[in-house]
Amino acid sequence: MMCLTLLTIYLPATQITLASSSRIRLGRPKPCDNDSSITQPMPLPCALSGLSKPIMRVLIILLIILLPLPLRADSLLLDFGPVLTEEADSRLSPAHMIEEIDYSIWNTLEGDSSNLVFANGDAAPSVSIDVGLSVAGISSIDFSREAISGELGVDINTGVYARSSPIKDGIYGELGDGAVVGLQIRGLPAGAYKVFIHGRNTNSTHDTPMRFFLKVAPPSEIVSFSNDDIYALVDNSVPANKHDFVEGDNFAVLSAVVREGQSLFLAAEGTGIETRGFFNIVEIIPETGK
Ligand SMILES: [Ca+2]
Ligand SMILES: [Ca+2]
């Protein structure tokens, strides 16, 4: 995030000082004094009153650039697997590196939960998550079945996957049955969302391409997906990209509009040598955060 502590702009005959860590500090208004012998910085409103229109335009553009991004306190960060993400590793995710959301409190999840918090730590009492599993394929995900939760990280455990990184551990289907992992997030506030997904078997040295599906529908105990639904493919190629996040290589982003009472459904399906679905993290970011 752009984080300047002090910006001083020198203009002819005028010095304007802006403190810009998060907002401009104007201070208490003082009477304007046009005495050019005064060397102290003028109060900002007085300084602006003497500027030409082109300079004002430049200043306005500069101020827009300096304004911070939405805080997105009401994001929902879902960290699957048993490992509690330490604060030092809590920004090792695509939404933090690309969207620069300001908060990074994760929900550590090994299965169903109705005890969730938003990214700023505030309780999210209306929201719950239901994990499900298919018998095989994407045609029917049963939310009464539960996925396996594991630490993983045997083969991919450095860079953005190091230490307690949220993208190293995860949940997944049973070995050999090609199970798809499904998620149902109930009770999200109505609105438009970006959904960032990282799903990979970090115990594997192979390419493990994965297809991630998204659907918005009324709550249900069973959901089906098809290739007519919204989905994104992620290569999860080798050697693994361990140093940054590249959409389509090691993460996916999908969009959703959720209406009151609807559930957000997601699914992960292995499409290569790894036929099981994996979820390491899901980040649900409101399009207009607060
Ligand atoms: Ca469940
Ligand atoms: Ca995780």
pLDDT tens, residue by residue, 217-236: 999 999 999 989 999 999 99
| Ligand that comes closest to the CA of residue 132 | 1
| DSSP of 23-86 | S----S-------TT--SPPPHHHHHHT--HHHHHHHHHHHHHHSPPP--TT-EEEEESSPPPP
Co-location of 94 and 202 in the same domain: yes
| Ligand that comes closest to the CA of residue 141 | 1
Phi, psi of 110 (to 5 degrees): -110, -5
Ligand 1 centre to CA of 270 (Å) is: 20
Co-location of 52 and 137 in the same domain: no
Q: Which of 66, 84, 112 is the last residue of a domain?
A: 66
Co-location of 124 and 254 in the same domain: yes
Q: pLDDT class for 69, splitting at 50, 70, 90?
A: low
| Ligand that comes closest to the CA of residue 281 | 2
| Ligand that comes closest to the CA of residue 90 | 2
CA distances from 237 to 172, 206, 248, 250, 272 (A): 18, 7, 10, 8, 11
Co-location of 253 and 152 in the same domain: yes
**Can you give the residue range of the structural domain that contains 32?**
6-66
pTM of the complete model: 0.77
Summarised one tens digit per residue, pLDDT across range 81-135 is: 999 999 999 999 999 998 778 899 999 999 999 999 999 999 999 999 999 999 8
Phi, psi of 54 (to 5 degrees): -60, -40
Q: What is the DSSP letter of 252?
A: E
Co-location of 91 and 232 in the same domain: yes
Co-location of 184 and 210 in the same domain: yes
Q: pLDDT class for 174, splitting at 50, 70, 90?
A: confident
Report yes or no on 55 lying in a domain.
yes
Ligand 2 centre to CA of 170 (Å) is: 5
Co-location of 123 and 57 in the same domain: no
Co-location of 186 and 158 in the same domain: yes
Ligand 1 centre to CA of 222 (Å) is: 10
pLDDT at residue 9 tops 50:
no
Co-location of 209 and 237 in the same domain: yes
Report, as an integer, the average pLDDT of 267-279.
95
Co-location of 125 and 257 in the same domain: yes
Co-location of 182 and 47 in the same domain: no
Co-location of 150 and 220 in the same domain: yes
